[in-house]
Structure 1
Amino acid sequence: MKNLHNALLLKQLYQLKQLGYRYTDITPYQEEKLDLTLPDTLDSLQKQAMNCHLCELSKSRKKVVFGEGNPHANILIIGEGPGATEDSTGKPFVGRSGELLSKMLENVLGVTRQEVYITNIVKCRPPNNRAPTPTEAHTCQPYLLKQIELIKPKLILTLGATAYHYLTGDDTGITKVRGSIHKHGNATLIPTYHPSYLLRNPSAKKEVFEDLLKVKELMKSF
C-alpha cells in the first residue's frame, strides 16, 4: 500500500512539472483513510463478517459462522471455531458437539439454545479442525468483542482452552481454570470444557456439570 501511495504521488508531481510548476502548494495525492469502525447492530456486523477476507481462513471456508441466538441474551457461549458441519450450514454448534451442548443447556440450566447466544473465537473453519493460530484469532477478535459489546451478556461461558485463552489472554490450562469465576468487563466469565472434549472423555461430564451448577446459581441474580 505504501508503494502504491508513493507511485501515485510521484505521478502527480511529474504531471505538475510538465505543466510548468517548479514549486506548488497544491495538495498531492493523499490516500483515503479507511473507516475501521465496526457497525453498531448485530445484523450489520454479521453482514460485514460475511464478506471478511482478512485472514487465510477465508480462502478455505464454505460459510462464515457468525453466531446465533437471542441478541439480548443474558448468557453468551463462546467456542473455539466452526467444524465441518458448521462450515456447511453456517450455524454454530450443530454437529455432535452441538447436540451435547443443547442437552447441557436444557438439562442443567433449564434454557434452550434460542435463549442464549452462541458464537466462536473465529468465524471461519480452520482446516482439519485444527486450533486457530494467534494471527487468525486476533484478526477475528474485533468481531467477537463487538458482539459482546452489543449483546451485553451478564455471563460468558467459554468452552475449551482456546476460547478462554484468546478472550482473556490467560494461558492457564483449562484443567486448572475450569469452573473458576472471573470478571470480563461487566460480565461474569466461567470457563469449562468444550463439548467435543466430553465426547472423547465422558468421565469429564461430572466436572462440567459442577461448572454449570455455578452458572445456574449465578442465573438467580439475572
Structure 2
Amino acid sequence: MAAVVALLVSSCGSNSSPPQPNPNAVTDQNANDEVPAVFYKTTEECEADTQKQQAEYEVLNSAFAAGTLTTEPTAPPIKPADCEPQMLAAQQNYQQHAPVYASLADCQAEGLECQPSPNAQNTGYYQPRFGGSYFHPFGGIPSFIFFNYGGSQRRLYQPSAVYQSATPGQVVTPNGQVVTNRKAGVVNAPRYTAAPAPARPQGTAARGTIKGRGSQGFGSTYKGTGRGGK
C-alpha cells in the first residue's frame, strides 16, 4: 500500500509543470514598451473624462443596435461613479508609499514638488506631492483591489500613484522614472508605470531615495527615460 501511495505521489510530481513567468511583469527588457493606460490627477478630471467617454459609447452602441455600425463598441473601462473610489484608492496608495524627508531641501533635491507631510507623526518633514495615478485596465495587465467605499467593498483597478515633478508636464514614479504626461484619460504610457511601488523607507528617507531607485531598475541594468500621456 505504501508503495502505491509513493507511486501516486511520484506520478503527480512528475506531471506538474514549473511555475510560468508572468508575461506582463515589468522587466529591464520591456519596461520602456508603451502600453495603453488611463491617467487622472483628480476625481473631477476623471468624472469629466469618463462622462464624455460614456456619452460617446452610448452613441456608438445605439448605432450598433440599429445596424449602422458593424463592430460592437467597447464600454469605457472606468465609469463616472467609479471615479471617486478610484482616486481615493490612488491617494491611499500614494500615502502608503511616498517617502518622507527630513527637510524640504532633501525632498526637492529629488527633482520633485514637495509638501509638508500630513502625517501627525512626521510633523516638520516633507514628502513628494501627489501627481495623479495610472490605471491599467487594458490587455493582460489589469490587476484589481477591493476598496471599502460607502460601507461596501468595491472592486477597483489597482492604482499606480505617481509624484509631481518640479518640471512642468512631468511626473515621477515611485521607482524613480520620469514620465512626460500631457493629458488625462486614455494614454500611451511606459509599461514601468504599472510596476509596484517599493515599500516606504522607515523613518525619514535618505537624500536621493527616488533618484537611487531610478538607477537600479527592474533587475540590474534598467534606466528609465520614457514618455507617457501622449
TM-score, structure 2 length as denominator? 0.27
Higher RCO (CA < 8 A, seq sep 6+): 2
Higher helix share: 1
Structure with higher strand content: 2
